[in-house]
């Protein structure tokens, strides 16, 4: 796809949650969650995001083109074990037709800027264990790597 002409990046509020939920469901169907027998819970997702989106330690950042949301990143910080704030990415999704465009890069840049604004000492992002396709993982590594993220650790998963 050609680079979109104009991408608007903005902080989401409650009025954006339904449109973001539609994208979250697309992510769920692209992942291996459904084939693993897991049950989608869109109302729970909406309630969770609604409860956190306007808190001072969380942000929903959206990318829109021509008024339609085409991607989002949900980020927050925590201080569970440290005095310093540690940023974490809760979810990151871009519609397939806008991957490898400036949409994804602008969302990552906005997330990094949010972590800096909060004064985070470090931040983590992770690819969902539901993303099993190597090309998607390579895109994820490359994209976040452009913003100085380094691969550390490992995610292990077990089905029950």
| Domain around 136 | 8-145
Q: Do the domain assignments include residue 1?
A: no
Tokens encoding 138: 């390579």
The total of structural domains in the chain comes to: 1
Q: Is residue 160 part of a domain?
A: no
Give 80-129 pLDDT, tens digit per residue: 888 999 999 888 999 989 988 899 999 999 999 999 999 999 998 877 65
Instruction: Map residue 122 onto helix, strand or coil.
Output: strand
Sign of CA dihedral 87, 130, 110, 56: negative
Query: Each residue of 132-157: pLDDT tens digit?
Result: 566 667 777 777 778 787 877 766 55
Is 154 within a domain?
A: no
């Amino acid at each position: 796809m050609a680079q979109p002409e104009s991408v608007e990046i903005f902080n989401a509020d409650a009025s954006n949650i339904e449109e973001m939920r539609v994208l979250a469901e697309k992510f769920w169907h692209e992942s291996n969650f459904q084939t693993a027998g897991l049950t989608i819970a869109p109302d729970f997702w909406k309630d969770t995001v609604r409860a956190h989106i306007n808190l001072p330690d969380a942000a929903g950042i959206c990318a829109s083109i021509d008024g339609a949301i085409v991607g989002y990143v949900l980020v927050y910080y925590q201080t569970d074990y440290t005095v310093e704030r540690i940023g974490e990415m809760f979810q990151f999704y871009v519609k397939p037709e806008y991957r490898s465009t400036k949409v994804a890069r602008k969302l990552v840049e906005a997330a990094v800027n949010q972590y800096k604004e909060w004064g985070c000492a470090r931040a983590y992002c992770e690819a969902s264990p539901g993303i099993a396709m190597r090309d998607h993982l390579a895109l994820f590594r490359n994209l976040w790597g452009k913003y100085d993220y380094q691969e550390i650790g490992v995610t292990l998963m077990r089905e029950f």
